[in-house]
Every structure is written in structure tokens, then in C-alpha cells.
Homo-oligomer: A and B are copies of this chain.
Amino acid sequence: MSAERHREIERKFLVRKLPEDLTAFPSTEISQGYLVSLDDGLQVRLRKKRKQYSLTYKRGLGNVREEREVALTDEQFATLWPATEGKRLSKTRYEIPFGDRVVEIDVYSGKHDGLIVAEVEFDDEESAINFQPPDWLGEDVTGDPRYSNQLLAS
């Protein structure tokens, strides 16, 4: 996320072929649930990543979205989390360095067990447009509702 401008600039890809040594890369278990998630991209998301809790507001669709994120205390998280019941997902996120970028590979568990999606974040739109993905990434599905987390969590 661009902290200054509260914009998230990101592309999302299918994965053609997983890196053979995937588990050798840093990984994190992520649980997230939605207080709100609408078709127009408006969402308020709670996330637990290791012992770190956060609330994120997002608005818009496509590769540039407004994003505002705050860290939550465990108490704040515990109060709000029950309201996300039925709108949750969990995944393991692997971080694969590629040039001066990091490809984040999300391997979903639970209801979407086996689904794999990759994301790359950028500092500006030009970098996003010019990015040449590695050959092990597949189709660009940025903005494709079938791979939106709000749909996956419903």
C-alpha cells in the first residue's frame, strides 16, 4: 500500500506452476473476515496475521483502490471478529522475491482448499502496467470477481 496516498496498486495472477521450493520461502498464516463486502469493491476487512491484527477499509475495483489500514489490539479484534461469521477465509501466504518485487502466493485452505492466487503490489500505476510477470505466473485476473476475496469469503 502507498501509505501516503492511501492507494493500493496491485495486480493479481493465476499461478501456472508453483515454485518447486515453495515451502523454503517465508510464509504466513492469514485469517480474514469481512464486516462488509459489496460488489462495488467497498469492504471493511479484519485480518489476523501471526499475532498482528488489522482493520482495512477498501473502496473501488481494479488495480488501483483506496485503502486505509489500522493495526488493532487483540481486544479490539476480539470484539469485532464475531460479526464476520460466515464471511471468513484462511490462506497461507508465501513471499517470493522477483527482481525488485515480491510475488505473494496465497494458498487457500478450508472451503477453497487448493485455490492458489498470486498478487504483486506496486508503488505507482506505471510500474503496475509495465510489470513483466515471471513465466510461472499465468493469466492476469486483476479485478476478476471470481478471484476477489469478498466472493471467496461468502
Contacts and interface: CB of A to CB of B under 8 A. Distances in A.
Interface of A: 6, 35-36, 42, 44, 55, 57, 59, 66, 68-72, 75-76, 79-80, 82-83
Contact of A36 (B42, B66, B70, B71): B42
Give the 7 A-B CB pairs with smallest separation, nearest first.
Answer: A70-B76, A36-B36, A70-B79, A44-B44, A57-B83, A68-B83, A35-B57
For the residues of A in contact with B, the DSSP-based class is strand
Contacts of A57: 35, 80, 83
Contacts of A79: 68-70
Contacts of A83: 57, 59, 66, 68
21 contacts: A6-B82, A35-B36, A35-B44, A35-B57, A36-B36, A36-B42, A36-B44, A44-B44, A55-B80, A57-B80, A57-B83, A59-B83, A66-B83, A68-B79, A68-B80, A68-B82, A68-B83, A69-B79, A70-B72, A70-B79, A71-B76
A110 to B, nearest CB: 23
A56 B104 CA distance: 32
Contacts of A69: 79
Nearest to A66: B83
Given A59-B83, A71-B76, 19 more contacts: A6-B82, A35-B44, A35-B57, A36-B36, A36-B42, A44-B44, A55-B55, A55-B80, A57-B80, A57-B83, A66-B83, A68-B79, A68-B80, A68-B83, A69-B79, A70-B72, A70-B75, A70-B79, A70-B80
